[in-house]
Every structure is written in C-alpha cells, then in structure tokens.
Amino acid sequence: MSYNAPVKDMMFVLKELAGLDQVSQLPGCEDATEETVDAVLNENAKFTSEVVAPLNWSGDVEAANWKDGVVTTAKGFKQAFKAFGEQGWQGLQHPSEFGGQGLPKLVATPCMEMVNGANLSFALCPLLTDGAIEALLVAGSQEQKETYLPKMISGEWTGTMNLTEPQAGSDLAMVRSKAVPQGDGTYRISGQKIYITYGEHDMAENIVHLVLARTPDAPEGVKGISLFVVPKFLVNGDGSLGKRNDVYCASIEHKLGIKASPTAVLLYGDDKGEVGKGAIGYLVGEENKGLQYMFVMMNAARFQVGVQGIGVAERAYQQAVRYANDRVQSRPVDGSANEAVAIINHPDVKRMLMSMRAQVEAARAMACVAGAAYDAAHFHSDEATRKQNMAVYEFMVPLVKGWSTEMSIEVASTGVQVHGGMGFIEETGAAQYYRDAKILTIYEGTTAIQANDLVGRKTSRDGGAMVKGLCAEIARTVAHLNESGSVHAKAVAGRLDAARAAFLDTAQFVVDNMKGNPNAVFAGSVPYLKLAGTTVAGWQMARALLAAEAKIKAGETDSFYSDKILTSRFFADHVLNAVPGLRDSIVNGYQAVTEMAVANF
C-alpha cells in the first residue's frame, strides 16, 4: 500500500502543458524556476510518501474518536501535521509577508495532489486551512490577518469553514445561525453547524472557525449572511491563547470513508466555554457580504477537492498495477505462454489499468492548466490578461471539481475490480479508496451544484463566449494533430474535433434554452459538465501527445513519451469518444425527465 508520487508526470505537465516557464516570469513568481520546482516536488514527494502515506490505512482502521467534546485523531496524525507545518508545506502557496513561501498555485497543485494521494483524511486539515487563509487574505482586516495568518500558515493553528446547518446544505439561503453585535466590535454567535471537517481535533493549538451567520436585522436569504472568525481559544493581545470560546463539538459522524478526518457537529452558544453564553466572533469584511467571501474559500476548496480526486485515483491506480503484476492467474489469450501469467498480461486488465491511468493523467493536466490560469489571473502585469485568465480559471473550477471527482469514483471502483475477490477484503486497501472517493462528488458542492455553476454563471451568462473561445483553441490543437500526421495523432484529432463540435452545440443549447426552458437545460446540466470536462481534459491529453511527439522527434528515447502517446490515444478512443453521445442525451433527451410527474417516482 505504498505511494509513489508521480513527480515525473507532474513535471511534464507543468513544463509542457501548463507553461511553468511563463508562470515563473510573472511578477512575484520568479522563484518558481524549473530547478526550484523540481526540488520542491521531490521534497514534497519524499515527505508525503514517507510520513503521510503510511498513516492512510491505519487512520482508516483507527478513525477519529470523540469523547465528551474532545476529538482524538489517529496515531501519528498529530506528529505528521506538526512536521507538515514545520517543513513549510502549509505555507507553500501563501504570501511570504505572513511567513508563507509565496509559490504559485501551479506549483501548489501537484503538492496538493501528493498529500491527498498519500492520505485523503490527513490532507483535509491543510485543505480547509488553505480555504480559511484565502478568505482572511481577501476579506480580513489587517489586525485579523496579523493575528491569525502567521499561525495558520505555519501550521500551528488550523482553519475550518462553517457553512452547513441541518436545513441549509446546498441552499445557504436557509442559514439560521445568529450573530448579535455586542457594541464593542465583537459579536456573540449561536447556532448549530454540521459536517464541519476538522471542526474539532488535537492536531493544533487553536482552530480558527470561519462561520456564516445572520445579524439580527439582516435581510432574508443569501443577502443577509455575514462571515465571522470564531477562534476555539480567544487570542490575547500578545498573541498567546486566552479563554476557551463557546463552541462545542457535540459529536462526529460515522462515515463511509475518510474516517480519520473528524466531521464535526459544532454547537455555538451553548455556554460550554469560558466566555459566557454565545461564542465570541469577529466580523470579516462587511456585514451581509459573507456569501461573497465564502465563495473565495469555496472556489479554493472546490479546486482542491478536484485535486483530491486526482490524488486518490492515482493511488488506486498504483495499487492496482502492483497487484496486477503480482497476481498470477490463467494463461494468455494469445497462446504466448503455456502457463498462467501475471494478470497484467491479460488484455482486459491492461484495459482497466489504461482507463485508470489515462483519466488520472488527463485530470492532472486539466487541474494544472487551471492552476496556471489562476496564477496569471493574480500575478500578470496586464489587467486584461489577468481578467481573461480569471475567467478561464473560473470556468475550469467546476470541471476540475466535478469531472475529476466523478472520475475518481470510477477509477477507485475499477481499482477494486482489478483485485478481484481480494479487492473486497478491507485489509487489501483498495476498498478504502472506493469508500473515501465517494465524498468527493458531494462536499464543497455536489456535482449537480458544480453543474449549475457551469450552466449558469459560466456558460449562459456570457452567451457561450468562453466555450467558443476554448473551442477555437481546441480547433488549433486539432490542426496541429493533423499536421503531425502520425496514426495516433490523426485518431486523436478525429475524436477531439467531434468532441469540440459537440461541446459548441451543447453550449448553444444551454444558451438558447436557459430562459425559455430551464428545466430542459438543468435536466442535462450534469451530463453537460461531464461533456465539458471530458472535452477539456481530452484536449490536454491531445496537447500532451503533441508534446511527447516533439520530444521524441528531438531525440528523447525515454518510454515515458511513447507511453504518453498511448494514454492520450486511449483517452480519445475510450473516454473522449463518448462526448457526441452526451450531446445527444442533453439536446434530445430531456423530455423523459421533464415529462415525468414527481408524484410518480
């Protein structure tokens, strides 16, 4: 059950597909030279595979445990997180002003993948902390930044996102938690929050909760939600920890997977701290703008959850490859041996492994390309370029989140399948990935929520302009593939061009029907996300094929490049080729959904 970080493929993606050299020329990103990035990735690979990965299975068995409001994490988690912070990994992508390393998101992305590949449950703690850091950076006061950020960036304190309440999940308009101003600049917070990842634990001295709540005279709905910072322990003027705040962990959930990560029910204002009734909170930014700030966190977290999918799928792939190499069963179908062989020799096992690998590589490429757009959106000197890149990044967030996580469930399931009966035995470890991955399509917005975002804000709002722009770029890649003229390039060109045409058609259908027939559009929203994600990911694989062919032409003999051509071809023939059918399901297949009476289910 070891984990080998796929640094070679990551460096290929960074350099050949995501434009590391251009990112390293952005103002503020000068440290991200190829040499440095290579060193950072290798150091991260060493840490995650040696320190974090060995805790994955033991963490699943032991799980996080709750007793009387106190949560104890599995053996080794506390020490590993301490080392994670001390080695600077929590601060990797955060500003050096507050103690971070200030590296671009493009570099942080493969590092996120590695810690998630090593241990999804562990990685959630830094993931949520990153989100809280980003929200404070964007909306916090200077005092809040100075109070919380250095400790969070160092990993001494962690952060959480407190959105969900029993009646308010996907629909945050229904948030009921209250925040009553005390006249001294502070608020008293009360209410119940659920599904709070690492809402309580023993891995850090303090926990910085970012909490959505309503002030007494706030308007109804999402326009009346404010964001508050509520530390588990109040922070004294000198930075030392003060009284225990009135936030209490009532229980943690018994879950299908990610069992080592505590999922807390938090009670605010039950008079269980040392501050009297009501947790003391501090407004972040302006009142009633909480949702806007929360989206900063959400977008960061959604991107990272997509990367979680890539990490766990990579790990499932690695374990399946090892088993397929070890397990001897049956003679080859082509009669090439007279005795049983390792099952990796059987065509169907190869097909399964190719399917896992091609999809993981495609998702990795898509996420890193999105990460590079994020960096250009933040650091480029030209405002129009920043704006354009921000639009690209925002378009890709639901794809990275939605597509990569749906993919991860399929890949983890295939991983179990490769193991046969052994896969169903928990001790083998393959089943853990299948259990763990299932949360990824749900939290930080289900796939349907990502699809709503894609259909509404990202496709319909600009009249399909972004899709048209991407499709024009895809058409250029198709032209390059046809110029290459190799058998594989030509095959991929045909699939990619068909997908491009289907993508355009479907986006047009969305734009045309959004107002007149929204039920038809939303009946196809998730298939449209799948279509868009497959096309964009397949496009990256096509670009990877071209880059690999160029390397081979330039004399490279490493089989990495010829393998990349094959995974690109596989993706085109077995994944990308479903896109025209998806268009058809969306454009001509909504009737059965819209006509079915709700009462008849």
Window 524-583: residues binding its own copies (CB under 8 A): 524-527, 559, 563, 566-567, 569-570, 573-574, 577-578, 580-581
* Interface of this chain with its own copies, residues 284 to 323, rule: CB under 8 A: 321
**CB of 56 or CB of 164, closer to its own copies:** 164
Q: What is the rounded CA–CA span in Å between residue 9 and residue 557?
A: 16
Chain positions 352 to 381 lying near its own copies, rule: CB under 8 A, are 353-354, 357-358
DSSP 164: -
If the CB atoms of residues 448 and 552 are measured against its own copies, the closer one turns out to be 448
Rank residues 94 and 495 by Cβ distance to its own copies and give the closer one.
495
82 contacts its own copies (rule: CB under 8 A): no
Calpha distance 244→330 (Å, rounded): 63
Q: Is 97 in the site for its own copies (CB under 8 A)?
A: no
Site for its own copies in 113-172 (CB under 8 A): 164, 167, 169-171
Task: Compute the least distance from the CB of residue 247 to its own copies, in Å.
Answer: 20
**Could you tell me the smallest distance in angstroms from the CB atom of residue 510 to its own copies?**
12
Report the alpha-carbon distance of residue 29 to residue 304 in Å, rounded: 20
Told to check if 182 binds its own copies by CB under 8 A, we report no
CA 373 to CA 18: how far, in whole Å?
9
- From the CB of 539, what's the least distance to its own copies, in Å? 17
Structure tokens at 114: 């590695």
Helix (H) or strand (E) holding 361: helix 347-379
Give the shortest CB-203-to-its own copies separation in angstroms: 22
Question: CA 524 to CA 476: how far, in whole Å?
Answer: 28
Segment interacting with its own copies (CB under 8 A) among 38-46, 280-288, 329-337, 395-403: 329-337
Please select the residue that binds its own copies; options are 126, 127, 349, 551, rule is CB under 8 A.
Answer: 349
If the CB atoms of residues 88 and 169 are measured against its own copies, the closer one turns out to be: 169
Binding its own copies (rule: CB under 8 A), the pick from 441, 459, 477, 540 is: 441
Q: Is 344 in the site for its own copies (CB under 8 A)?
A: yes
Residue from 417, 482, 486, 508 in contact with its own copies (CB under 8 A): 417
CB closer to its own copies, 10 vs 103? 10
Residue (206 or 534) nearer to its own copies, CB: 534
Cα→Cα distances 193→160, 168, 350, Å: 11, 9, 46
C-beta of residue 252 within 8 angstroms of C-beta of residue 71: yes
Stretch that binds its own copies, among 98-106, 211-219, 328-336, 466-474 (CB under 8 A): 328-336
Q: Do the bridges between strand 241-244 and strand 233-235 make them parallel or antiparallel, or are there none, so unpaired?
A: antiparallel
**CB-wise, 421 or 555, nearer to its own copies?**
421
Residues of span 183-212 touching its own copies by CB under 8 A: 194-195
How far is Cα of residue 311 from the mean position of the Cα atoms in its chain? 9
Query: Residue 210 and residue 208: Cα distance in Å, rounded?
Result: 7
Minimum gap (Å) between residue 436 Cβ and its own copies: 10
**Rg of the chain over all Cα atoms, to the nearest angstrom:** 24
Q: By CB under 8 A, is residue 220 in contact with its own copies?
A: no
Q: Which residues contact 419 (CB under 8 A, 6 or more apart)?
A: 320, 323, 428, 430
Q: Which region holds residue 595: left if phi is over 0, alpha if psi is between -120 and 50, else beta?
A: alpha
Residue 324 contacts its own copies per CB under 8 A? yes
Give the contacts of 303 (CB within 8 A, at least 6 positions apart): 367, 370, 371, 374, 397, 400, 401
Using CB under 8 A, which of the segments 109-117, 300-308, 344-352, 367-375 binds its own copies?
A: 344-352
User: Which one of residues 39, 70, 337, 340 is an interface residue with its own copies (CB under 8 A)?
Assistant: 340
Separation of alpha carbons 526 and 329, rounded Å: 40
Q: Are 284 and 229 in contact (CB under 8 A)?
A: yes
- In the set 97, 444, 549, 556, the catalytic residue is 444
Quote the tokens at residue 246: 């009135």
Residues 494-513 that bind its own copies (CB under 8 A): none
Tell which positions 447-476 bind its own copies, by CB under 8 A: 447-448, 451
Question: Does the footprint of its own copies cover residue 68 (CB under 8 A)?
Answer: no
Helix axes 34-47, 105-118, angle to 10 degrees: 20
Cα 215 from Cα 217, distance rounded (Å): 6
Residue 438 binds its own copies (CB under 8 A): yes
Structure tokens at 325: 């190499």
Token pair for 388: 């354009």
- For residues 226 to 265, the per-residue mask of contacts with its own copies, x marking binding by CB under 8 A and - elsewhere, is ---------------------------xxxxx--------
| Conformation bin of residue 313: beta by default, left when phi > 0, alpha when psi is -120 to 50 | alpha
Judged by CB, which is closer to its own copies: 54, or 589? Answer: 589
The verdict on 337 binding its own copies (CB under 8 A) reads no
**CA 200 to CA 266: how far, in whole Å?**
8
Instruction: At 136, list the tokens.
Output: 């404070």
State the nearest-atom distance from the C-beta of 585 to its own copies, in Å: 5
Spatial CA neighbour of 250 closest among 47, 54, 69: 69
**Interface positions, 393-412, toward its own copies (CB under 8 A):** 409
* Cβ proximity to its own copies, 142 vs 336, nearer residue: 336
Q: Is 444 a catalytic residue?
A: yes
Residues assigned a catalytic role? 444
